[in-house]
Structure 1
Amino acid sequence: MAKDRVTIRDVAARAGVSVATASKALNDRYGVASDTVRRVREAVAELGYESSLVARSMRIARTGVIGVLVWDIGPYSAEVLKGAAAAVRDTDYELLVYAAVGRSADRMGWEHRYLPRLSGTLIDGAVLVTPTVETTPGSTPVVAVDSRIGGEGLPAVDSDNFAGARLATDHLLGLGHRRIGFLGRPPRELASAQQREHGYRASLAAAGVQFDPSLVHAGGYGATDHQDAARALLELPDRPTAIFAANDVSAIATVDVALTLGLDVPRDLSVVGFDNVPESALCRPALTTVEQPLQLMGQRAVEMVLALLAGDRLANPHLRLPTRLIVRGSTGAPAPATPDDAAGVHARPAS
């Protein structure tokens, strides 16, 4: 039977040296002639040998790998990962992505369970994307993207969620909307979820618009959760004329539900999202949204991990980046009231 995996013994045999010498050559140890190093590296290239990260970490107490732990690979996390990859491009480090896809029952605190499996054997440091842990085990340098309430001790990178929510809500108020729904996102443990709702409420208060709790719904994590929450808002007897959705995925789902109910966007309903993922510009109508610099957040988080690994003290352990409003086609002034509106009819039949 053919051997599946090339080993260090195969490399040594091809180069005509001992296993110990081949190992020294691969790990840049002192005392190996340059010609021998060349032969060993040629053998590695010819045979396609790759050393085990675990074995290497046991020898030198370092893997040269930064881990990025994400719950799922979605539009948000994909953008963060692009920035994380850019941060290691000109370094000696590589990136390992660990996604806990499918563990819906274990969502809360999953990082606390799985980080110890990677730390010290596969990764030197980690970036946690939307973490639910307040502290992390061991001495592995960890930086969070979008930190948890109560987790102030963990170095983190986030965006100005409160200011971004105010930008979104002020935009809708400026267009003339007064019944503005808010489609939030659990879990309440995430600081960003609360900050966006607080920004929404603050804008209403500043405009003298009374807060209506019936206009606030929390979506879940799956596509049907977003749709169900949007439908609950749009089927109210006195439905909102605009909805601020706390992320682009739920905003796009809101537009889809509105269309199935026979509502025109933005004539009958204005929709604003949050994130500015690439999909927001591709949907129809293109989505008005609040941009948070997701790629930059991922880049800065990895840079902070690298600084910690180098033994540096972080000048700013909680980095907050600005947000900005991107106006596209999903928002407009509310439609003038009609006799049907006065009678409680808010949607035309779906075609």
Structure 2
Amino acid sequence: MQRVREAIEELGYESSLVARSLRNHRTNVVGVLVWAIEPYSAELLKGVARGLKGTGYELVVYSTGAEAGGRVGWERRYLSRLSGTLIDGAVLVTPTVSTEGIGSPVVAVDPHSGGDGGWTVAADNHRGARLAVEYLLGLGHRRIAFLGRPPRDLESSRQREAGYRGALEDAGVPFDPRLLRNAGYEDNESLEAARTLLALPRRPTAIFAANDVTAIATMEAALTLGMRVPDDLSVIGFDNIPEATMVEPALTTIEQPLQLMGQRAVETLLDVLAGREPTEARLMLPTRLVVRGSCAAPPADPSRVVGLTAPEEDAAAPAP
């Protein structure tokens, strides 16, 4: 037996996860399912890895690839490939459908708004959006646009839009549906949505983007139109990914504690796998405003700012 152990050590042999699960009905592996590896999910993964340290569990990261485009139901299809034989449970990042009845223990980060009884971890998106808009209002802005991201049935998307609308209403600023746009998933979609807003005859003086990637694309769109941030246009994002400090000017944003969200999600999952009741089934973490250099008071005469004009875009366009 000793010679077998020595041979195993020398050859670096490991039993397959499938064989291990057949013997023990456990693999000691947890999965993180994301539709794409991008700045948001990368920060969450750092927190998941930190939460697993010293637990004896291993981590599998499974991505659908960007070409999946966040199609509705992707998590059910891909979870069925992993659960039962490769992983004991999963953390789902921004699932597109309810996680109820999936089978394996699942914790959802940035959950679907279906209201199922599963375990979830999220940031206070409503409060964060209000902080963003209230900050812009305090600088003197009144034409404040919102660039959202699909799917709008994500709880975060719904809450951020509600926070945007609520802050405007409390300030007595009428909601203008032409200033509400869907930025899509890809960078080119964010650029096009930003350019559409900046082409309005009465363009916004500030844009609140639902995430930092869209905010950075908005700054790029403004630059291509000869506009200066923040002198001609203020831009504020959401997430506080590392890239927010790498642009010029550095991006003012709403921070959600992404790494902590990942850590808390996997800690909740480990509690469930161990038969312990998680302290909180629906954990909400605070958001905060991070002021940098991309916001300022609105220009005295916005009509003099260089930019595109597209009168047809101002014709009572419905919100997307």
Higher relative contact order (CA 8 A, sep 6+): 2
Q: Counterpart amino acid of 2:166?
A: A
* Structure 2 partner of 1:239: 203
Matched residues in 2 for 1:269 and 1:253: separation? 13
- Aligned partners of 2:111 and 2:258: how far apart in 1? 14
Q: Is the 8 A contact 1:135 1:151 kept in 2?
A: no
**Gapped regions of structure 2 (runs ≥ 5):** 309-320
Q: Provide the rounded CA distance (Å) in 2 between the counterparts of 1:118 and 1:279.
A: 32
Residue 301 (str. 1) matches residue 265 (str. 2):
yes
In the alignment, what sits opposite 2:227? 263
Q: Taking structure 1 as reference, are residues 224 and 85 closer, same or farther at Cα in structure 2, changes over 3 Å only?
A: same
Give 1:41 shift: 3.3
Give 1:94's match in structure 2, choosing from 53, 58, 64. Answer: 58
1:347 pairs with one of 290, 294, 306: 306
CA contact (8 A) 1:239 1:346 kept: no
Counterparts of 1:106 and 1:202, CA distance in 2: 28
Deviation at 1:314, TM superposition (A): 2.2
Residue in structure 2 matched with residue 22 of structure 1 by the alignment? none
Q: Distance in 2 between matches of 1:137 and 1:98?
A: 20
State yes or no: 1:150 paired with 2:109.
Answer: no
**Structure 1 regions of 5+ residues with no counterpart?**
1-16, 18-35
Partner SS, residue 9 of structure 2:
helix
Report the CA distance between 1:152 and its aligned residue.
Answer: 3.0
Q: Output the aligned Cα RMSD.
A: 1.4
**SS of corresponding position for 2:280:** coil
**1:114: which partner in 2?**
78
Q: Counterpart of 1:7?
A: none
Aligned-pair CA distance for 1:315: 2.9
- Post-superposition CA distance 1:80-101 (Å, at most 9, x none): 0000000111101011000000
Q: What SS does the corresponding residue of 1:96 show, helix, strand or coil?
A: strand
Secondary structure of the residue aligned to 2:121 is strand
CA distance in 1, matches of 2:38, 2:5: 39
The counterpart of 1:180, out of the listed 144, 161, 168, is 144
Matched, 1:132 2:91: no
Question: Conserved in 2, the CA contact under 8 Å of 1:281 and 1:287?
Answer: yes
- Measure the CA separation in 2 of the matches of 1:58 and 1:298: 29
SS of match in other structure, 1:164: helix
TM-score for the superposition, normalised by structure 1: 0.85
The whole-number CA distance in structure 1 between the counterparts of 2:284 and 2:66 is: 30
Moved over 6 A (4+): none
**1:67-86 Cα shifts (integer Å, max 9, x gaps):** 00000000000000000000
Taking the aligned partners of 1:105 and 1:161, their CA distance within structure 2 comes to 23
Instruction: Determine the C-alpha separation between the residues in 1 that align with 2:160 and 2:26.
Output: 40
Percentage of identical aligned residues = 62
1:85 partner SS: helix
Which residue number corresponds to residue 30 of structure 2? Answer: 66
Alignment partners' CA distance in 2, 1:83 and 1:106: 22
Equivalent of 2:299, from 335, 341, 351? 335
Residue pairs, 1:28-67, within 5 angstroms: 36=2, 39-67=3-31
| Residue matched to 2:159 | 195
Displacement, 1:140? Answer: 1.3
What is the rounded CA distance, in whole Å, between the counterparts of 1:106 and 1:229 in structure 2? 19
On the 8 A contact 1:205/1:211 being kept in 2, the answer is yes
